[in-house]
Chain A
């Protein structure tokens, strides 16, 4: 497969993987750790959405599905499919607990992207493409403009019934 096309497909899969799993696991509903609440309220002050802000704060402060997706891609690249992904899931779980975060989004994200990497290998998608794709995916959420990205995340949270009840 053409490398550029592969990276774009991997980026889309990675974006959907971590955004949908994180939203389903309730990252926009509640700040899992204290720092996530600070970041969420700061993003809201700058014109963003509170639920999207909590989502972004949770991403920064403890391993979530985005960390799981990236680490599993790196694990599969360095160790193999699917062993690298399984080891990444184990490490993400310990990372969550060290960050005093009870969530399972990171572990779930690592396992699901391992399945996608394994399936993608049949059509020529490599773990390296998923690493680059995940970097691009997280850049669209955390690297471009927080108010817009948080509003998008807030809308997704609304549609999935995971919008925050906090004010």
Chain B
């Protein structure tokens, strides 16, 4: 049977401890592009998920001990979210940006010396097409389409 109190204790303790550990309540705007770990997203959501897993694994026994287990899940999740989550799932190093064009073009002699297919901005012509999207990325995506 679904016990709401267990989930409220787990979520509440994770939320309060998350705030005490100086996590913001919500990520900053725009939330879609924010990597900030906040007290509600994801700490509270993780606590609810972990509680559901523990419950389904049969570790909750419908006794007062369950409340202590829920409290422990909330506390562990808050510390996990604050100190471990970014190490396990780090932010990516690259963002979606069009390649920057350098202001100083390279000398034509150097281009001819290299004999390469570089353009004025010093980047490989083969590296990007007219839309500015990497060819390598395009190939990867076309493969994943299939």
Contact = CB atoms under 8 A, between A and B. Distances in A.
B48 A86 contact: yes
A34 B141 contact: yes
Interface stretch (B12-20, B32-40, B101-109, B113-121): B32-40
A59 B51 CA distance: 28
Contact of B49 (A80, A81, A86, A100): A86
B32 A41 contact: no
B42 interface: yes
A89 interface: yes
A49 interface: no
Bin chain B's interface residue count: 20 to 34
Interface string B134-146: 1001101100110
Given A34-B141, A38-B141, A82-B2, A104 B133 contact: no
A93 interface: yes
B72 interface: no
Contact of A104 (B32, B48, B55): B32
> Chain B interface mostly helix, strand, loop or mixed?
helix
A38 B133 contact: yes
30 contacts: A26-B30, A30-B33, A34-B133, A34-B134, A34-B137, A35-B140, A35-B144, A37-B133, A38-B133, A38-B137, A38-B141, A39-B145, A60-B144, A80-B2, A80-B56, A83-B56, A86-B7, A87-B49, A87-B53, A89-B45, A90-B46, A90-B52, A93-B45, A93-B49, A97-B89, A98-B89, A102-B32, A104-B41, A107-B41, A107-B45
Closest 3 CB pairs of A and B: A90-B49, A97-B89, A100-B92
Interface of B: 2, 7, 27, 30-35, 41-42, 45-46, 48-53, 55-56, 89, 92, 96, 131, 133-134, 137-138, 140-141, 144-145
